[in-house]
Structure 1
Amino acid sequence: MKPWVIDASVAVAWLIPEHQHPRCDEHYGRARGQAGLYHAPALWHWQVGQALLLACRSGRLPRAHYERGLELVAQAQVEIDPPPNLHRRSQVLRLAEAHQISYLDAAYLELVVRLNGTLLSREAALLAAARACGIAVEPF
């Protein structure tokens, strides 16, 4: 089975009710039960934490759910890619420029290209860039 690269938008759908999607929930169940299938760049935890913090600050999520959300994310067996070396950072920059996406989104793109995996995302620009690279995607 091809590896899945999961971006923060999918993890946020696990945690914030207004973003929930049944297929995202299915992937969460798989991620909890099967190691080695889901992957993310090192920035993933920071982006998920930021989304939870903003949801709490805006009143869309009770503060008590922030800690619980972090616990739920920790239960998912997402393999975090080690921080990139100079070569990979340069590759991320090239992908960001070539596809007119953010450097952060390009980090997910670089990982899914390198693993020859399938991208799970809710971000239209990232999905389009992955398709342009010949990468399988699962949009939500």
Structure 2
Amino acid sequence: MHGLVIDNSIVMSWCFADEANQYDDDVLESLKYIRAIVPCIWPLEVGNVLVVAERKGRLKHIDSIKFWELLSELPIDVEQELSEKMIRNIFILAREAQLSTYDASYLELAIRKDLPLAT
């Protein structure tokens, strides 16, 4: 059973020391006790941040690989399905909350699963 939905901004703070804060560290610590779930776009978002960081010289390729390995060891499940109904709900949430559809996908998942959203 899942305990929370984790937004990608939280996850990426674990990769970059200058973005770390106590809240994000506490979310990571909580994964010792609960499982998290993320929407199906999450691996693409993580990958994009890592690739851009490499291009900007902020991260070495080997560090990206190590971070992926770290993430694969954490109890984070990627939702594998994206139905038409979910897409419609994501669009509605994005419009109403003035979010990107990417951010709204995390909110939609949290609402649908009745889980807290760490963001």
Calculate the TM-score normalised by the size of structure 1: 0.77
- Aligned residue in 1 for 2:41: 43
- Aligned residue in 2 for 1:128: none
- Aligned residue in 2 for 1:127: none
- Aligned residue in 2 for 1:88: 86
Task: Please tell me whether residue 18 in structure 1 is matched to residue 18 in structure 2.
Answer: yes
- Aligned residue in 1 for 2:115: 117
Query: Which runs of 4 or more aligned residues in structure 1 lie more than 4 Å from their structure 2 counterparts after TM superposition?
Result: none
**Does the 8 Å CA contact 1:34/1:77 hold for their aligned counterparts?**
no
Question: Could you list the runs of 5+ residues in structure 2 that have no partner in the other structure?
Answer: none
Matches within 5 A, 1:46-85: 46-85=44-83
- Aligned residue in 1 for 2:4: 4
Report the CA distance between 1:2 and its aligned residue. 7.8
In structure 2, distance between residues paired with 1:71 and 1:118: 26
Calculate the TM-score normalised by the size of structure 2: 0.89
Deviates more, 1:16-25 or 1:66-75: 16-25
In structure 1, distance between residues paired with 2:22 and 2:61: 24
Could you tell me which amino acid in structure 1 is paired with residue 37 of structure 2?
A: H
> SS in structure 2 opposite 1:5?
strand
In structure 1, distance between residues paired with 2:46 and 2:21: 16
In structure 2, distance between residues paired with 1:93 and 1:64: 36
> SS in structure 1 opposite 2:106?
helix
Question: Could you list the runs of 5+ residues in structure 1 that have no partner in the other structure?
Answer: 122-140
How many residue pairs are counted as aligned between the two chains? 119
